[in-house]
A and B are shown apart, each in its own frame.
Chain A
Amino acid sequence: KAGVTQTPRYLIKTRGQQVTLSCSPISGHRSVSWYQQTPGQGLQFLFEYFSETQRNKGNFPGRFSGRQFSNSRSEMNVSTLELGDSALYLCASSRYLDRRNTGELFFGEGSRLTVL
């Protein structure tokens, strides 16, 4: 079955612009989480959506936002981009919200954002 699909895979923006990233989860998965990966910081949790509702949020400024649609697809948006936002943004989907099933997080290949 199709895996988690993220678009675009690569993009370049300049400071002050905004960006929207898209994630299509595995069919039947209702939970979508977003992570930021930067060198030396590992995977930093951004937020998680389940059934169109944000269930949890990490420690990121309000410039980072997201949403989930009725078909479970999710988007994240970063406004007023800063150089430090350059990172790999990973989306992960799972069937359940229960954290005991977090081993069943399936990640996409990520969207690599470069801010100049």
Chain B
Amino acid sequence: DQQVKQNSPSLSVQEGRISILNCDYTNSMFDYFLWYKKYPAEGPTFLISISSIKDKNEDGRFTVFLNKSAKHLSLHIVPSQPGDSAVYFCAASPTDKLIFGTGTRLQVFP
């Protein structure tokens, strides 16, 4: 039973345009969310997080939006760059661990 879902396994975006990666969760008790980025042959690295008391958090080109009523969060990358090509995992934190989604492979082409 997947509590954190990333329904798009892949996304292809042109350089300079916006990339939007989506994530849905099922448990309304989740109150802290994170995004990780993973390059091939490397471990995931933390990208950005958001607490449920907020609906938006920005860090440079990266913005995460949280819609608690819809149990949905999204990661916006503007402008997208070729170096952003990676697998992106969203994760939710209940009381004691991180629950990851299945990942979305983003490809940014010139």
Do the two chains bind?
yes
Give the CA-CA distance A49 to B2 in the complex, in Å. Answer: 24
Chain A interface residue count, CB cutoff 8 Å, equals 26
Q: Apart from A35-B100, A42-B102, A103-B46, what 12 extra A-B contacts exist at CB < 8 Å?
A: A33-B97, A42-B2, A42-B6, A42-B89, A42-B101, A43-B98, A45-B98, A45-B99, A58-B97, A90-B44, A107-B44, A107-B45
A75 to chain B, nearest CB (A): 18
* CB pair B32 A102 closer than 8 Å: yes
What are 13 A-B contacts with C-beta separation under 8 Å?
A: A4-B43, A42-B102, A43-B103, A56-B96, A90-B43, A99-B95, A99-B96, A102-B34, A103-B46, A104-B46, A107-B44, A107-B45, A109-B41
Would you call the interface of chain B mostly helix, strand, loop, or mixed?
loop
- A-B residue pair count with CB separations less than 8 angstroms: 62
Q: Which residues of B contact A107 (CB under 8 A)?
A: 36, 43-45
Taking Cβ atoms with an 8 Å cutoff, the residues of B that contact A are 2, 4, 6, 32, 34, 36, 41-46, 49, 89, 91, 93, 95-103
Determine whether A41 belongs to the interface, using a CB cutoff of 8 Å to chain B.
yes
* CB pair B49 A108 closer than 8 Å: no
Residue-wise, chain A 21-62 has the 8 Å CB interface mask toward B (1 for contact) of: 000000000000101000011111100100000011010000
B48 to chain A, nearest CB (A): 8
